[in-house]
Amino acid sequence: MHNIIVKDQYVFEEAAWFIKSNKINFGPGLLATLGDHHRKQRKLLNPVFSIAHMRRMIPIFNEVTHKLQKAIECRVIGRDGPVELDMLNWMGRTALELIGQSGLGYSFDPLVADSSDEFLTAIKAFQPTIMQLSVLRRIVPYLPEIGSPWLRRKLVELIPIKNIQKLRYIVDTMHERSVEIYQEKKRMLEQGDEALKDKVGEGKDLMSILLRANMAASEDDKLPEEELIGQVATFIFAAMDTTSNALSITLSLLAENPDVQEKLRKEIIEASNGEDLDYDTLVSLPYLDAVCRETLRLHSPVTTVFRETRSDAVLPLSEPITGIDGSKINEIYVPKDTTVIVGILSSNRNKAIWGEDALEWKPERWLGQLPESVTEAKIPGIYSNLMTFLGGGRACIGFKFSQLEMKVVLCQLLTKFTFATSAKPVVWNVSGVRFPTVAEATKPSMPMMVGLYKDSAVAA
């Protein structure tokens, strides 16, 4: 994996269909570029996700999650026992509002009404719709190679397939809102800092920082307007869908393991003493960190990534294998244009690396020293010997943002509420990003029983 993800990463590039799909769906943002083009975008974006900026996000994160607390309180207080709520819906709405306010200086959802913004509905429908397209999802990316933009648009509109039309609506919705957000942000910045003081994020959001950096960049490093708009859609999808699903599976695991839930709640309450946690305290809580790491190990939102060789390559093996003639094979020849599948989940759950209990959810494994086999494996991921956030030049640029979001949301929820499993069977579906549904339904959802924590201020 080290050769594919790091050493020879420009030989083992993202699959062409993946890049083309992302360009159609999100525009020419970070997920839709390769090589020097990708490096240029990443160079400008890297400072935006610095620890210094993450620290400044904490007050915004707390403000949004307080709204989430109040929204859930309104639905459970005064009821006779726990109430069934779709926690995937609430996690999605919260994640969208968090990336909206802290990332874009834009509010999508006040977290009051039962229904969510149409933008969230579109994003949450994206993966299930893509999954239902089956073989067609490999054909759609090549539509841009047909005729003029006007002709391509008309052809898509005429395709009599329900899910193609649904995908068209989703992509249109994401693009239109991305343009709206970008244009408003650009207009405010042109008016100066005073114009931003009364706006969401007060000009300290990630998009404002990015646009200022782009204005100050040399002509060679500047990103064109269409790529900046592409970053808006990319930010939103990457930050919302994966993190909300990760939070949902974490709540589900805590519901299935009430002893872990109570132990984590105790750590949070003792550290917070009734107040919001600051950045340093939040990242120093050992059991909270262990729960997040173990969930991201066992239940990575993205399970596989695809690579295609841009030239012939020789791939060394970490351990030799025996050929059919009995000879030892230490490396494999990989011809140009070969598709290579990197198993993120397979690496994270490999018993040879993580031990015989690799398929079990055990936060305690992170409280002591990890097995030597973990460090000896030299996993090329950027996070905790895991492949969850990948590694190399295409590692998840916002992984610190995602971690911080998970921890803030869990802290705010567990001090106020208890979580138990619903009687409805929840199934996690494998797609580009894993998502839960009730049994064989296609609409993403995750019902849970939510009650007031007896010692919380609300319950009192």
- How far, in Å, CA of 350 to CA of 67, rounded? 40
Residue 157 lies in a domain: yes
Confidence check: pLDDT of 271 > 60: yes
216: in domain = yes
> Is the pLDDT reported for residue 345 higher than 80?
yes
Residues 6 or more apart from 74 whose CB is under 8 A from it? none
Task: Please give the pLDDT value at position 132.
Answer: 83
The predicted pLDDT at position 173 comes to 93
User: Is position 458 within any domain?
Assistant: no
Count Cβ neighbours within 10 Å for each residue of 11-24 and write b for 16 or more, e otherwise: bbbbbbbbbbbbbb
The secondary structure of 29-60 as a DSSP string is SGGG--HHHHHHHHHHHGGGG-HHHHHHHHHH
**Predicted local confidence at residue 425, as pLDDT:** 95
Query: What does the pLDDT read at residue 331?
Result: 95
Does residue 212 have a pLDDT over 60?
yes
Alpha helices of 273-380 — where are they, by DSSP H?
Answer: 279-284, 286-298, 344-348, 351-354, 372-376
In this structure, what CATH number is given to the domain that contains residue 62? 1.10.630.10
Separation in Å, CA 216 to CA 50, 138, 200, 212, 330: 18, 39, 23, 6, 50
Domain count for the chain, please give it.
Answer: 1
In a domain, 457, yes or no: no
The answer to whether residue 458 scores a pLDDT higher than 70 is no
Domain membership of residue 385 as a residue range: 2-452
Helices 225-256, 206-216: axis angle to 10 degrees equals: 150
Above 70 in pLDDT, residue 232? yes
> Can you give the C-alpha Rg of the chain in angstroms?
23
Is residue 428 in some structural domain?
Answer: yes
Write out the two tokens for 451. Answer: 């009650």
Element (H, E) at 196: none
Asked if the structure places residue 56 within a domain, the reply is: yes
411: helix, strand or coil: helix
pLDDT of 131 reads 82
Domain-embedded: residue 356: yes
The pLDDT score that the predictor gives to residue 366 is: 98
Q: Which residues, other chains included, contact 280 with Cβ-Cβ below 8 Å and sequence gap of 6+?
A: none
**396 annotated binding-site participant:** yes
What is the distance between the alpha carbons of residues 251 and 324, in angstroms, rounded to a whole number? 47
Specify if 236 maps to a domain.
Answer: yes
